[in-house]
Amino acid sequence: MRIAIDTGGTFTDCVFEREGQLCALKVCSTPRDPTQSILSVLRSIGASKQSLLRHGTTVGTNTLLERNGARVALVSTEGFEDVIAIGRQARPSLYDWFDGPLPPLVPEKLRFRIRERIASSGEILRRPGARELRRLAGLLRASKAEAVAVCLLFSFANPANERAVETALHGLGLPLSVSHRLLPEFREYERASNCAVNAYLAPIMGSYLARLETAARKEIPGARVSVMQSSGGIIAARAAAQEPVRTILSGPAGGVVGACDVARRAGIERIITFDMGGTSTDVALVDGVGSGPVTTRESEVAGMPVAVPMLSIHTVGAGGGSLARFDAGGALEVGPESAGADPGPICYGHGVTPTVTDANLLLGRIGPECFLEGGLKLDAVRTRDYFDENRGLMTDFKALAAGIVRVVEASMERGMRVVSMERGFDPRDFTLVAFGGSGPLHACALAASLRIPRVLIPRLPGALSALGILISDAVRDYSRTVMVLPGSAEIVRAFLELTRRGARDMRREGLTAIAVRSVDVRYAGQGYEIEVPWTKDYVSRFHRAHRGRYGYADEQWPIEVVNARVRMIARAEPLRLRRRPLHPGDGRTAIVGKRPVFFHRAFERVPVYDRARLQPGARIAGPAVIAEYSATTVVPPGCIARVDEWANLAINIVAKPLSARH
């Protein structure tokens, strides 16, 4: 039995296969101990022995955002212990005298130095002495550090000194994050930051995953637990506990993988993904589903660079649980704070501050009787009372609800502009794939604002991230800086070394993998490089890629190969979904009632459809509401929704819809 569970801030989503059928389940998250909601899911679905459990987690992300990780010590080459604080000397807010950057994860008193030196060529200029190593171990023991990051200068060229430090510190019994194992690449600040982040997360993630594995195997004897990485690949829980920095965007990565799979089946190549959950919204642009989503190594999380492979995802602090309030000047603000699962929105029965979900309920977009098929009762009367108490200068609760929707949609629209227009892409050339528990509620309005002509709502939209986790390949990434001219034998030697290491690691997990090789290339003298596949024509590929990204290329200028990369991939068993024949109709038999829904400053009585009853080929003209177990889709006036052969909702935005935002 294959099971994927994505733990979000508000809900924990599960997708699993049973007797060839794809099923979904949503339960409320338990933020204080996410394992409780996971165990609740496993009990509810009756997981069988020898189950494969795949997990998307927000533990790493939340730990960084909330700054409640481990007490980390950093060991550096003498004279470079403050690199973690100096960084690139770039101020995020140039003229802000008060809210400067967050302090580094490692305070000054926990930065330790060691007298050693490796040259850029890899030559050992000075080895650390045994006496000094013993002294270092004693200082670290006295510091009460909970984890240690080791990042020595030029250790990527020769790790001998770093290995000596690593050996000397093993006796401390602390998690060690060592740069030549984690990220053997040049750029000392990014390497040090990566090690510090990994060390900061290691005790918490290690403890969490150990508890999860123990609890899962107690519930399901023989269960195997894996974790989704930010790169869109699966890794064994034991490996994830050692390198938690690779799991920071675990859940959102699953959503992008799932959206690509849905789009590929539907024959769509260019998509913008829109994943609106309870706490945040994640958007990504994929210009060619066949080649997969874009991976970057230049990400920044909570103000810190993270150089491991991550899908290029932009996150906005706006979700269904985002809190709404008035600022000192009387302006309405929504987010980034969220009600989460505890206390949750007002309509769940415990919250007292208006949220986006509450606003959608009062505007008729969500029906109390349809939410999770009645599994969670929504209290509209309580919500209306609290909205009346908190409406500020608004005329009534309806005006406040409509205002909340306008503000949150404006915030999400800005996020979509970041991944499209600000990167040179025209949104009109793409399809918006909307998912998450709240995504289908707002998708058509956002598509209209950006002139996106088509929206695709997948099957099980509220659990698509879990579906992406279920179908993801097992992946391990390896790299090493080589810094050589094209044609150098050092490139081939690096590939052989990385491939041998990768094959060994995958065999330990019982997997057979293929190696995909690539190189980072740049013009000599440039500060940044472009990754291209390792092929016979990789130099010409680089020139084409450079011209596509920067608008020019100089084929006469010398180039250098900076990094060699190997990605080991063990293919996942594909889902065997059935394409169903189309039966044209108007979906009238799926109507379960009518209710007032707010459009264009007024309520309009519209039909409510049960998505489970809609047959492929059904055509629905807006305005309409399409309800299902995991989400609700709003089809505004002027939009036409059709059910395709894969049970997706394909919505044509034929006119600018009149929604609560206009």
pLDDT of residue 251: 84
- Give span(s): CATH 3.30.1490, the chain: 474-570
Architecture of domain 70-200: 3-Layer(aba) Sandwich (3.40)
Give the predicted TM-score (pTM) of the model. Answer: 0.90
| List of long-range contacts for 327-331, beta carbons under 8 Å, 24+ apart | 330/392, 330/393
pLDDT of residue 360: 95
Spans of the chain, pLDDT less than 50 = 657-662
Q: Which residues pair with 325 in a beta bridge?
A: 333
- pLDDT tens-digit map of 429-457: 999 999 998 999 999 999 999 999 999 99
Which pLDDT belongs to residue 467? 94
Distance between CA atoms of 81 and 105, rounded to whole angstroms? 13
Residue 375's pLDDT is 63
What CATH number does the domain located at 474-570 have? 3.30.1490
Delimiting residues of CATH 3.30.420.40 domain(s) in the chain: 2-64+204-247
**Whole-number Cα distances in Å, 599 to 9, 378, 405:** 30, 22, 12
Joined together, the tokens standing for residue 350 give 């415990």
Question: Start-end ranges of CATH 3.40.50 in the chain?
Answer: 70-200
| Residue 330 CB coordination number (10 Å) | 8
How many helices and strands, by DSSP H and E, does the chain display?
Answer: 16, 34
**Residues 111 and 76 sit within 8 Å (Cβ to Cβ):** yes
Q: Would you state the pLDDT for residue 662?
A: 43
Give the right CATH number for 2-64+204-247 from 3.30.70.20, 3.30.365.10, 3.30.460.80, 3.30.420.40: 3.30.420.40
